[in-house]
């Protein structure tokens, strides 16, 4: 028997070649090998991934065989193996050997259907194998079927253009990634459909193109192997990538119809159904849009792109009901011929992708701004070449690394950490004093992240920003980082009023980027400039800890205009649920409201107040974050208040912290900002910057890594 065990790995590949494929009566299922005098009804294929039960971390494999009633065999035997030492030889004794007498099963229509007890496999970095033997009455045997390298794990879809299937075009080899043999796939996204690809499972291949069996793409392989290594779970990737505009990916598309009348969408769905994993997809990765934004005169509009994607998303959620997250990889300016970049049309697609992520809590977005395009030349490529795809070492490998933390946080329970996601803008406003406008501040969504411009020397990142609106004529002079804010200084010779600011990046390599300390670049964007949109809190929300509870307090000025207040709590800063509602008192003037959250989140709680006005319009407070540990600020006050000839502040800290001191005017415009190292205990410092401004109302904000405190201050005449 030990010799037979050693032989499994050799004979399985031979059997794949010499056994005739048997197509079962269920047309959509993957075909199973034929066996002498019978048919496999339920049997694992080599390299098959079975979806794991997320609660038990196991999968169940049914085994049933139909034999001819006049078969020469009187028993069937299944040997079940686990490759415990991970050497692919299966040289350990079988986990179990089960033998069933055919005479114990009835003969129906000259056939005997034999069902073995289901086999349980763990989702782990180990392979499993099966041998089916037919035993005769004289105890001689014949091997009928062999399957090896079977696993339990998770299934993902990758969809989009050529950067989604990401074949090798330059340096690096995705197949050298550790544990790549635990990455599985089925068939391919060949445009000719089911007749052109093998209806079998195989080990994923990160280097080949989309028409080659088991293509998972270079970044897909890097991401999947990292998941496998860190979570100890095999992964199946189904890549449906094809290079064209977004419309060809819709479920009702008439483009690229194969001989079996399937478009791109239906081909991918068939593969997942054939493989038995259609109802077990955990996430979908979407990397598409270059074709929609490379030609200014033939572009896809922002609205059309959003509408098409939402139609695709609706079909996905209907056909793959277990999808937990959709991940959008934002395109980078590139994939065009000539010397003039299609900035406007590319920005339409970039912003459409950002809009989709910001409008749906089940969508996460990744930036590609710090990936390095490679120069490609050759047949079919415009003279001078183009920058569209990526090499491995500074491209697809980096992409897989950058996508990994978000995937693990969203799907595998990894605790959220700062500086692990791509930043994007949430507000932009003119922050210069006087007229005309010469400065814009853009606030980013992750206030706890630490941002910087990379590289700090070299090309000026201002080249990749533009300010628009009014009569135009704006020239961006310099861009800097102030905490979570991007400060853009520009010339305004026409004395015009800007209405938007854009960041579009560069199509090549060597361009500076804005990244957090985890190496995640901000996304490209077109952000409207809205007066008063910077984060001054209209409700003055504060949160304090009382034992294990959180005490929320907010003040409503002109209280009579509010009908209702809704307290919302989230585990992230862009995912909120209602936890309390209270109707306004109807009283005039400024009214204070209180609420105690007795069951805050176990790790981090993000709070905001959604105030509903009498006319139905909504107003949101600033988001206030409370960590499990004690807040750093005990008390913060400004004196005297109103301010006259001097302005001072005192702040009592539970622990030392680096703080940012921001001064805003009453409309929220940022007037000044500086950093201050605060010590544990009482700290006193001057707010002399207040004295530089005219009498009026101002907001002083102290921002630390764990919270934000603010005070309204009046500057007296």
Q: Please, which pLDDT band fits residue 5 given cuts at 50, 70 and 90?
A: very low
> Which residue has 């794949």 as its token pair?
16
Report pLDDT for 628. 55
State mean pLDDT over 672-701.
85
Share of the chain above pLDDT 70, in %: 92
Q: Please, which pLDDT band fits residue 457 given cuts at 50, 70 and 90?
A: low
Report pLDDT for 672. 85
Report pLDDT for 129. 98
The alpha carbon torsion through 371, 377, 382, 388 (nearest 10 deg) reads: -20
pLDDT in tens, 638-660: 888 888 778 888 888 877 888 88
Distance CA 200, CA 59 (A): 19
pLDDT at residue 378 above 80? yes
pLDDT in tens, 474-508: 999 999 887 788 989 999 999 998 999 999 998 77
3 state SS for 123-163? CCCCCEEEEEEEECCCCCEEEEEEEEEEEEEEEEEEEECHH
Report pLDDT for 28. 46
HSE-up of 309 (CA within 13 Å, CB side)? Answer: 30
Q: Please, which pLDDT band fits residue 574 given cuts at 50, 70 and 90?
A: low
Report pLDDT for 632. 64
- In this prediction the pTM is 0.74
How many CB atoms neighbour CB 630 within 10 A?
A: 12
pLDDT in tens, 313-330: 999 999 999 999 999 999
pLDDT at residue 102 above 90? yes
Report pLDDT for 22. 30
Report pLDDT for 401. 97
Angle between helices 343-359 and 302-319 (to 10 degrees): 40
pLDDT in tens, 237-253: 999 999 999 999 999 99
Closest by CA position to 134, among listed 108, 114, 118: 114
* Residue scoring higher pLDDT (388 or 432): 388
How far is CA 413 from each of CA 73, 104, 405, 408, 409, rounded to the nearest angstrom? 50, 48, 11, 6, 5
Q: Please, which pLDDT band fits residue 9 given cuts at 50, 70 and 90?
A: very low
Residue 455 preceded by cis peptide, ω within 30 = yes
pLDDT in tens, 241-290: 999 999 999 999 999 999 889 999 999 999 999 999 999 999 999 999 99
- Lowest mean pLDDT of 293-302, 509-518, 702-711, name the range: 702-711
Closest by CA position to 199, among listed 15, 21, 12, 9: 21
pLDDT at residue 301 above 80? yes
Q: What is the overall mean pLDDT for the chain?
A: 88
Distance CA 77, CA 101 (A): 9
């Amino acid at each position: 028997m030990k010799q037979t065990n050693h032989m499994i790995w050799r004979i399985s590949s031979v059997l794949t070649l010499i056994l005739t494929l048997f197509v079962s009566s269920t047309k959509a299922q993957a075909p199973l090998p034929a066996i002498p005098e019978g048919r496999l009804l339920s049997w694992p294929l080599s390299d098959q991934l079975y979806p794991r039960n997320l609660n038990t971390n196991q999968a169940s494999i049914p085994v049933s065989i139909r034999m001819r009633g006049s078969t020469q065999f009187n028993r069937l035997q299944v040997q079940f193996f686990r490759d415990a030492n991970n050497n692919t030889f299966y040289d350990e004794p079988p986990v179990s050997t089960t033998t069933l007498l055919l005479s114990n099963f009835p003969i129906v229509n000259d056939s005997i259907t034999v069902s073995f007890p289901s086999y349980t496999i763990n989702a782990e970095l180990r392979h499993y194998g099966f041998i089916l033997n037919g035993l005769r009455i004289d105890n001689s045997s014949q091997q009928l079927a062999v399957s090896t390298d079977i696993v339990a794990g998770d299934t993902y879809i990758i969809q989009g253009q050529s950067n989604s299937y990401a074949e090798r075009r330059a340096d690096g080899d995705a197949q050298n990634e550790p544990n790549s043999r635990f990455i599985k796939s089925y068939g391919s996204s060949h445009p000719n459909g089911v007749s052109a690809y093998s209806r079998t499972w195989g080990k994923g291949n990160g280097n080949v193109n989309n028409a080659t069996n088991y293509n998972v793409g270079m970044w897909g392989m890097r991401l999947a192997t990292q998941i496998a290594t860190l979570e100890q779970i095999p992964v199946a990737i189904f890549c449906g990538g094809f290079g064209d505009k977004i419309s060809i990916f819709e479920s009702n598309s008439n483009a690229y119809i194969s001989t079996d009348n399937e478009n791109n969408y239906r081909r991918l769905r068939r593969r997942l159904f054939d493989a038995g994993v259609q109802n077990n997809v955990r996430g979908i990765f979407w990397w598409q849009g270059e074709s929609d934004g490379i030609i200014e005169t033939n572009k896809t509009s922002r609205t059309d792109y959003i509408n098409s994607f939402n139609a695709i998303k609706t079909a996905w959620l209907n056909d793959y009901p277990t999808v937990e997250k959709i991940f959008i990889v934002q395109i980078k300016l590139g994939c065009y011929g000539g010397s003039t970049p299609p900035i406007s049309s590319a920005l339409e697609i970039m912003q459409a992708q950002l809009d989709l992520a910001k409008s749906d809590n089940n969508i996460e977005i990744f930036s590609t701004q710090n990936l390095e395009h490679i120069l490609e030349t050759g047949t079919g490529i415009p003279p001078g070449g183009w920058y569209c795809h990526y090499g491995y070492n500074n491209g697809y490998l980096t992409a897989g690394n950058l996508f990994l933390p978000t995937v693990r946080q969203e799907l595998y329970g990894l605790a959220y950490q700062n500086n692990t996601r791509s930043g994007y803008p949430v507000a932009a406003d003119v922050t210069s004093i006087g007229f005309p406008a010469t400065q814009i501040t853009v606030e980013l969504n992750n206030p706890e992240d630490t941002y910087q411009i990379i590289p700090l020397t070299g090309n000026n990142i201002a080249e990749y920003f533009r300010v628009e609106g009014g009569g135009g004529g704006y020239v961006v002079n310099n861009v800097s980082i102030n905490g979570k804010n991007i400060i853009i200084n520009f010339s305004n010779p026409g004395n015009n009023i800007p209405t938007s600011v854009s960041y579009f990046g560069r199509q090549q390599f060597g361009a500076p980027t804005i990244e957090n300390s985890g190496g995640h670049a901000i996304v490209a964007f077109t952000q409207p400039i809205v007066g008063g949109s910077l984060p001054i809190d209209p409700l003055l929300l504060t949160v304090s800890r009382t034992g294990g509870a959180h005490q929320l307090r907010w003040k409503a000025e002109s209280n009579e205009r509010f009908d209702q207040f809704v307290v919302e709590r989230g585990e992230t800063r862009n995912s909120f649920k209602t936890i309390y509602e209270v109707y306004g008192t109807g009283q005039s003037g400024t009214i204070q409201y209180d609420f105690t959250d007795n069951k805050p989140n176990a790790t981090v709680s993000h709070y905001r107040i959604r105030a509903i006005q009498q006319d139905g319009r909504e107003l949101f407070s600033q988001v206030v974050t409370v960590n499990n540990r004690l807040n750093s600020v005990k008390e913060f006050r400004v004196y005297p208040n109103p301010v006259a000839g001097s302005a001072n502040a005192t702040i009592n800290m539970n622990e030392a912290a680096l703080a940012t001191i921001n001064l805003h005017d009453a409309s929220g415009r940022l007037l000044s900002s500086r950093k201050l190292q605060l010590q544990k205990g009482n700290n006193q410092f001057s707010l002399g910057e207040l004295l530089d401004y005219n009498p009026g109302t101002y907001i002083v904000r102290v921002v630390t890594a764990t919270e934000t405190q603010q005070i309204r201050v009046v500057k007296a005449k």
